[in-house]
Amino acid sequence: MDWLLTPGPVRLHPKALQALARPQLHHRTEPARELFLKARTLLQEAFRTQGEVLILTGSGTLAMEALVLNLFAPGERVLVPVYGKFSERFAEIAESAGLEVDRLELPYGKVPTPERVARPGYAGLLLVHSETSTGALADLPALAQAFREANPEGLVGADMVTSLLVREVALEAWGVDAAASGSQKGLMCPPGLGFVALSPRALERLRPRGYYLDLTRELKAQREGESAWTPAINLVGAVAAVLEEVLPRLEAHLALKAWQNDLLYQVGEELGLLAVPEARSPAVAAFHLPEGVPYRAVKEAFARRHAVIAGGQGPLKGKIFRLSLMGHYDRYEALGVAALFKEAFADILPPS
């Protein structure tokens, strides 16, 4: 398929493909250590933290679980607003880690307001920044601040899986203590790496737990440019290459991603489609299916034009469809996708 319009994995950055075409590097050699440290430094800049970023071989879910396991002890009480598939996952992970989880259930598509999380008595708040399943963007700085005023000792953990490199993010400046992300979204690399960013405050609160997911052990190794377990070093090279390209012109990159996603919503509006989220993330445009149109018809209209799109998840399955230009697409390719979107819908909703 020529047009990968799913909200991750995404169309790869050419620098990622180039990096992956290189001969194998052994991770316990000086060139690999330099590469690993470079990737960590660039990720630290991307997450905007004075703390540390750990690179884990695994998915974003693994990074989310590592974050929860290493910052909270069983029995501790955490608040988890649930407003989509990935915030649901955060709650499940916290439960599986033995935490006492208070879910704050919201309809899919909504995001929590600061008032709702300004409740004392919690060791932590777990939030999804860009809820990929609904296209909603939570106001992370306002939520973190409200929570921390009520819980000065509490830690804020954020899923930045589809916001890193797609929308502005910041750890300490926003009052976020820890964040998880992955390689296959805004970083435009293949899947296989998860990242855990830890603020200086989170670093002080780290407690060893688990084996593969023990971040204390990782931290010790990664400070030296190594990793506790054999890393997907080829992907680390891809991540470093993309960050080196994108970070120096991050502002323009984020502006492009915002413009591209707005363009998708604009086309949707012209077609009379209803947007799913109120507060929109630039990572993905999510639309309700038109009355009486099954998801399969939309998927097939795009597939006939060599495009892969995403459907709904959880309670939104069969009710919405999602398009994303988070991958390596420039301005003109986005305009092409806008045309493709219109043509696909001409098949589905013929002009009356």
Q: Which of 57, 162, 181, 261 binds a copy of itself (CB under 8 A)?
A: 57
Residues in contact with a copy of itself, total (CB under 8 A)? 48
Residues 251-310 contacting a copy of itself, CB under 8 A: 308, 310
Q: Give the range of 125-133, 188-196, 251-259, 285-293 binding a copy of itself by CB under 8 A.
A: 188-196
Asked if residues 101 and 125 have their Cβ atoms less than 8 Å apart, the reply is no
Q: Tokens 């047009």 — which residue?
A: 3
Q: Which of 50, 73, 74, 96 binds a copy of itself (CB under 8 A)?
A: 96
What would the x/- binding string for a copy of itself be over residues 214 to 233, using CB under 8 A?
Answer: ---------------xxxxx
**Cα–Cα distance, 304 to 19 (Å, whole number):** 32
**Phi, psi values for residue 273, rounded to 5°:** -85, 145
11 is an interface residue for a copy of itself by CB under 8 A: yes
Residue 97 or 127 having the CB closest to a copy of itself: 97
**Cα–Cα distance, 87 to 92 (Å, whole number):** 9
Residues in the annotated binding site for substrate: 322
Q: Which of 33, 48, 59, 103 binds a copy of itself (CB under 8 A)?
A: 59
206 is an interface residue for a copy of itself by CB under 8 A: no
CB of 19 to a copy of itself, least distance (A): 10
60 is an interface residue for a copy of itself by CB under 8 A: yes
6 is an interface residue for a copy of itself by CB under 8 A: yes
Q: Is 44 exposed, middle or buried (0-12, 13-18, 19+ CB in 10 A)?
A: middle
Name the helix (H) or strand (E) containing 285. strand 285-288
Residue 52 or 218 having the CB closest to a copy of itself: 218
Residue 20 or 297 having the CB closest to a copy of itself: 20
Query: Which among 93, 79, 83 is positioned nearest to 126, based on CA atoms?
Result: 79
Give the CA radius of gyration of the chain.
20
The token pair at 326 is 């988070």
Asked if residues 202 and 179 have their Cβ atoms less than 8 Å apart, the reply is no
Q: What torsion do the CA atoms of 99, 177, 165, 23 make, to the nearest 10 degrees?
A: -80
Residues in the annotated binding site: 322
The token pair at 172 is 């300490």
Residues that bind a copy of itself (CB under 8 A): 1, 4, 6, 8-12, 17, 20-21, 23-29, 57-62, 65, 92-93, 96-97, 182, 184, 190-192, 210-213, 229-235, 308, 310, 327
